[in-house]
Chains A and B, each alone.
Chain A
Amino acid sequence: MAWDARTGTPPVQEHPPAPAAPLSPREHLSSPVTRSVLGIQHRMLTAAREFLTGQGCTELLAPVIGPVTDPGARGAKQVDVDYYGHRYKLMTSAILYKQASLAAFDRIFFIAPNVRLEPLETASTDRHLAEFHQIDVELAGASRDDAVALAEALVRHVVRQVLAALPGELARLGRDRCAFTGLLAGPFGRRTHSDAVAALHALGHAQSADAEIDWAGEAILSRAATVPFFVTDYPKGSRGFYDREDPDRPGFLRNFDLIAPEGYGELASGSEREADYATIIARIRETGENPAKYGWYLRMLRDGIPGSAGFGLGVERLTRYIAGLASVWQASAYPKVPGVAAP
């Protein structure tokens, strides 16, 4: 695949269609593609740990179950666990624990497993798994822009390390190094949610100004980009209660998504966090939730936790982007495509 000589832009990789899900665990695990992908993923995780540790972050082991979990996952069902007669949840994300962990260290990260029973229509987006992992980072006293800067530096470091260490694996997968030229050379793009909505409207795509960018809209924006970009300032009502509302711009949140180019779509979500007890209570109600079930978290907030910012970076999605895979399930040893019963 070559650069476009006329426009000077890097090539947009065509994704060969992937089967909806692997046929059998043995076939999947022993395939040369899977071995290359998992080798790249191993290098990515090593690089991420090196980088974040170098940034003063302490790695903690993430909880797997708890009385509550992140309610902010759009349309996805949480998994109940009968914990000695108490209804516990598998983590959809460790967000509440990330904030709590700042009671121990100012800068922390998890490489955390998450389970979300996503709507069945996500089986065909090529970027949803019911079980996946995130590199979860939380920074006390940080702003949204601090988190954006760290996310950008982390992704750049990981890509650089993989390119340096595993050029053969990328070549075997047919992934052109040129795809990362822009990512390595300069800053990531940045646009507000309102701008993204306007751009989609200009392209004839019906996108609600009050909602997250829908999956089709995100794919359109992603395909049009050649370097990763941040979408910031989502409207309230589209995200979890912990994303901080902008005091200078009521109705908008100090948050972001990181979108990969070439149609790979969302890699990460993050925000500056709300840490004020009364504000969080009102925000919990605004998301239709019952504050009673967040008892332990609210007690911590009431006693005071530091303001913070952070993000969760999807490991399998980043793997898919770096390795140039058609579908995210190819980036998991034991993929759980939504709705597909698999080991």
Chain B
Amino acid sequence: MLDAQGFAEAEVRDRARFGPAAAFPAPERYGRALFGAGTGPVPADPLDRLRLVPPVFVPHRLAKLVELAREPVYPDVRLETVVGGLRSTLPLYLSALGSTRVASVDLAVAASAQAGRLGIPMVVGENVAPVNGYGRLAPGAGRSLLDRVRAYTADLPAGFGGVVIQQSTEDADAEVWNLAYSDPGTRPLLDSGRLGFELKVGQGAKPGLGGMTLLDPAAAAKLGDRYTLDAGLGRGTGAVLRSSSPGTFTAEILRQQIRLMRNNFPRARVWVKLPPARDVREAAVVAWEAGADAVTVDGAEAGTGWAPLAFLRQVGLPLAECLRRIGPHPSCLLVSGRMWEGTRVATCLALGANAAGLGRAALLAVDTDAQRGLVNLVDCLALELRMLTSALGRYDVAELAAEDVWAPQAGPEYGAG
């Protein structure tokens, strides 16, 4: 069974089993226990230290009351969101799960199928095609890129969702984008405006480094001419560390790469994934101005894959600080990093994000229940989002704003609006 230290594993598995019911205490305690806020330890994650604070005066609720001719309640909250040019039933998407072994077994395919059923977009990691195959001529043992796409589209609601395929520097050799853009297998997505490509500039778990995979020596030998291999890190297991380069970017390189994506793939959505870097705002602005449909920022607390402990511990900006630095903006911002429940997602939306990506939570959910785990988790999260948003006096998640958020101590300041 999968484990995920440093993550709310038990809570995620509970939600994957019980769905929306897990948003509340166990019902058997009802009438027998007293409930109220506890005084637990102060969370280490600055995003989790923030609180959502409803107002007394709720002009948006009045507007909704006029529209409905009755008092609005939480099921009236609209969650449908445009996520990087793709229509989504919820302000959520399935993050890239990488090609690390944990995501290469059936979990990624199960997560794809459930994300499709939910009608939320799915990002396919940079390494899936180079490592597991594209799946057109040689079947990828059910794990190839096309297998993921097939699982995703099987029950995808019409007009919703979409598949966004990542590519980074070395993976450009595999020409995954060119292949997907000219492939009959992805054509229904392309023709319905639901195919996207994500330029991976970096990632949260190891900002400044490229993607990493542990390989057995035979698999490593096949990739040796394209990646950096380090055989001395396997603690006697023989495993070889395969690293991509982080890729060299300047503002001009990023700008022109995005323009070329738009030129070469005019019918595809263009996403750009940024690491939690100190110049995250400048990079995001370059990407948006060059025409990216979305910028994804992966907080330092994000990541499903293999990474050096030092980077997990102490490298990169927390997502809260990324949001503060980016500040107000008119474009589509997607965020990821330890997302699994409603308050964190709602707080990010209030601080300028349009949607949040599920990574580890999605893997744990499908590991708990391969048929419904992710659907259950998301149903629970959706219930929380509706309750939180309505409590804040709003009836569309897009209306959440910085004024809904309170920081308990002197710390980062969040701009209003």
Q: Which among A75, A214, A235 is the interface contact of B182 at CB below 8 angstroms?
A: A75
With A210-B262, A290-B170 known to touch, is A77 a contact of B179 (CB < 8 Å)? yes
CB nearest to A283 among chain B residues:
B256
How far in angstroms is the closest Cβ of chain B from A235? 7
For residue A339, CB closer than 8 A to chain B, the reply is yes
B157 contacts the other chain (Cβ, under 8 Å)? Answer: no
Decide: A210 and B182 in contact? CB cutoff 8 A: no
Complex interface residues of chain B between 246 and 277 (CB less than 8 A to chain A): 247-250, 252-253, 255-267
> Is A144 in contact with chain B by the CB < 8 A criterion?
no
A282 is an interface residue with CB less than 8 A from chain B: yes
A289 touches B (CB below 8 Å): yes
**Which residues on the A side are within 8 Å of B257 (C-beta)?**
285-288
Q: Is the CB of A118 within 8 A of B182?
A: yes
Q: Mark B167-185, 1 if CB is under 8 A from A, else 0.
A: 1011011010011011010
Residue-wise interface mask of A (228-257) relative to B, using a CB-CB cutoff of 8 A (1 in contact, 0 not): 000000011110000000000000000000
Within 8 A of B (CB), among A72-93: 74-78, 86-87
With A211-B262, A211-B263, A214-B266 as known contacts, state yes or no: A286 contacts B178, CB within 8 Å: no
Chain B residue numbers with a CB within 8 Å of A236 are: 256, 259
B178 / chain A contacts, CB cutoff of 8 Å: 75-78, 117
**B255 contacts A237, C-beta separation under 8 Å:** yes
Instruction: Tell me if A286 and B179 are in contact (CB < 8 A).
Output: no
Beta-carbon nearest neighbor of A215 in chain B: B266
The answer to whether B264 and A74 touch across the interface, beta carbons within 8 angstroms, is yes
- Assess whether A212 is interfacial by the CB under 8 Å rule: yes
User: In the complex, which residues of chain A have a beta carbon less than 8 angstroms from the beta carbon of B179?
Assistant: 77
A237 to B290, CA, bound (A): 10
**Contacts A77-B179, A117-B182 given; does A288 touch B260 at CB 8 Å:** yes
Is B187 part of the contact surface with A, judged by Cβ < 8 Å? yes
> Using Cβ atoms and an 8 Å threshold, which residues of chain B touch A287?
256-257, 260
Given contacts A210-B259, A235-B259, whether A75 and B253 have CB atoms under 8 Å apart is no
Q: Majority SS of interface residues in chain B?
A: helix
Indicate if the CB atoms of A78 and B172 lie closer than 8 Å: no
In the complex, are the beta carbons of A286 and B256 less than 8 A apart? yes
The answer to whether B263 and A210 touch across the interface, beta carbons within 8 angstroms, is: yes
- Shortest CB distance A93–B (Å): 15
A contact residues around B205 at 8 Å (CB): none
Interfacial chain B residues near A338, Cβ < 8 Å: 182
Binary per-residue interface labels of chain B (41-71) against chain A in the complex, 1 for a CB within 8 Å, 0 otherwise: 0000000000000000000000000000000
Are B291 and A285 in contact (CB-based, < 8 A)?
no
Chain A count of residues within 8 A CB distance of the other chain: 32
- A208 proximal to B (CB < 8 A): yes
Please, which residue of chain A has its CB at the minimum distance from the CB of B267? Answer: A121
Contact partner, B259, options A76, A121, A237, Cβ 8 Å: A237
Indicate if the CB atoms of B259 and A290 lie closer than 8 Å.
no
A289 touches B187 (CB 8 A): no
A285 and B263 contact, Cβ closer than 8 Å, known pairs A77-B178, A78-B175 = no
**Interface hits, A312-341 → B, CB 8 Å:** 338-339
Q: Is the CB of A75 within 8 A of B265?
A: yes
| Contact yes or no, B187 A120, CB < 8 A | yes
A118 vs B248: C-alpha distance in the bound complex, in angstroms? 29
A290 to B257, CA, bound (A): 12
Q: In the complex the two chains form, is B182's CB within 8 Å of A77's CB? A: yes
- Bound together, the chains give a CA A293 to CA B226 distance in angstroms of 8
- Interface: A141 (CB within 8 A): no
Task: Give the contacts of B193-223 with A (CB-CB under 8 A).
Answer: 199
Contact with B along A273-308 (1 / 0, CB 8 A): 000000000100111111011000000000000000
Residues 142-181 of chain A: 1 if any B CB is under 8 Å from the residue's CB, otherwise 0?
0000000000000000000000000000000000000000
Bound complex: CA A208 to CA B170 (Å): 29
By CB atoms of chain A within 10 A, which of B170, B184, B263 has the most? B263
Q: Does A187 lie at the interface of the complex (its beta carbon under 8 Å from any beta carbon of B)?
A: no
- Tell yes or no: A182 within 8 A of B by CB: no
Given A120-B182, A285-B253, the answer on whether A212 and B173 have CB atoms closer than 8 Å is no
Is A119 part of the binding interface, using a Cβ–Cβ cutoff of 8 Å? yes
- For B258, the closest partner residue in chain A by CB is A237
B 133-173 contacts with A by CB, 8 A = 167, 169-170, 172-173
- Contact code string A174-214 (vs B, CB < 8 Å = 1, else 0): 00000000000000000000000000000000001011101
Q: Which residues of A contact B290 (CB under 8 A)?
A: 210
Of B172, B253, B264, the most chain A CB neighbours within 10 A belong to B264
Assess the A238–B263 pair: CB atoms within 8 A. Answer: yes
Bound state CA distance, A289 and B261, in angstroms?
12
Residues 125-146 of chain A: 1 if any B CB is under 8 Å from the residue's CB, otherwise 0?
A: 0000000000000000000000
A contact residues around B175 at 8 Å (CB) = 77-78
Q: A208-B291, A210-B290, A293-B173 are in contact. List 16 more A-B contacts (CB 8 A).
A: A74-B263, A75-B178, A75-B181, A76-B182, A77-B181, A87-B173, A120-B182, A208-B262, A208-B263, A237-B255, A237-B259, A238-B259, A285-B248, A288-B169, A290-B169, A290-B172
Provide a sorted-by-A list of 11 A–B residue pairs whose CB atoms are within 8 angstroms.
Answer: A75-B265, A119-B182, A120-B187, A210-B259, A211-B262, A285-B248, A285-B253, A286-B256, A287-B257, A288-B172, A290-B172
Residues of A near any B CB (own CB < 8 A): 74-78, 86-87, 117-121, 208, 210-212, 214, 235-238, 282, 285-290, 292-293, 338-339
